[in-house]
Chains A and B, each alone.
Chain A
Amino acid sequence: GAVVSQHPSRVICKSGTSVKIECRSLDFQATTMFWYRQFPKQSLMLMATSNEGSKATYEQGVEKDKFLINHASLTLSTLTVTSAHPEDSSFYICSARDAGPGGHEQFFGPGTRLTVL
């Protein structure tokens, strides 16, 4: 089955620092990757759609200068939380959509727990 990895699985940082989270599709190519954040006991909230080779599309209310997304290859997208603050502490999850014909299933990564002190 399709596998999506995320690194790191958890990170603790000081307020004001930047954190980069990687999302990789391991056995398929993904023209589109999605980034979500999930607060405890809540549903997934889509932050942005990342398309390989083009700028990410951000959902309303998501600061694009704070959450930098780069999708440089068909297997890698990165999310950088810049100048992180305690309110950015959350569970960040990426998903990837198979670029193959007819592919529309999204496969999710295991998530990254970010804690900002």
Chain B
Amino acid sequence: QQQVKQSPQSLIVQKGGISIINCAYENTAFDYFPWYQQFPGKGPALLIAIRPDVSEKKEGRFTISFNKSAKQFSLHIMDSQPGDSATYFCAASIRGGSEKLVFGKGTKLTVNP
């Protein structure tokens, strides 16, 4: 119930391509879905987050697509750049509750020049 399943484990794309990372959850009480970017040796940084009352949110080259009925959400990185090479984590939490984030296992993205 508490798991967030993330795929793929690793992803290699060419510069300018689209990177797509998918996550699925079981607990329907989750109502906050952030994505984090982490570079080696650094803490995660919040990229973008979505609430279940919208199906898509876009910020610059980053877009979250959310499918409430399928209990899935995904991160799309448009025009991927070598500087986007990092590990990406999806997460989910319940606002107003413990606020504990449940993380996916992460996706290591490599963008080749």
Interface residues, chain A, with chain B CB atoms under 8 Å away: 4, 6, 32, 34, 41-44, 46, 49, 91, 93, 95, 97, 104-111, 113
Contact = CB atoms under 8 A, between A and B. Distances in A.
A43 B77 CA distance: 21
Contact of A108 (B32, B44, B49, B96): B44
B99 A108 contact: no
Given A6-B43, A42-B105, A43-B105, 10 more contacts: A32-B99, A34-B101, A44-B101, A44-B103, A105-B49, A106-B34, A108-B36, A108-B46, A111-B43, A113-B41
Contacts of B89: 43-44
Given A44-B103, A46-B101, A104-B95, A111 B45 contact: no
Interface of B: 32, 34, 36, 41-46, 49, 89, 93, 95-96, 98-101, 103-106, 108
Contacts of B105: 42-43
A34 B42 contact: no
18 contacts: A34-B101, A43-B103, A43-B104, A43-B105, A44-B89, A44-B101, A46-B101, A91-B41, A93-B43, A95-B43, A104-B32, A104-B93, A104-B96, A106-B101, A107-B46, A110-B42, A110-B43, A111-B41
Contacts of A106: 34, 46, 99, 101
B100 A46 contact: yes
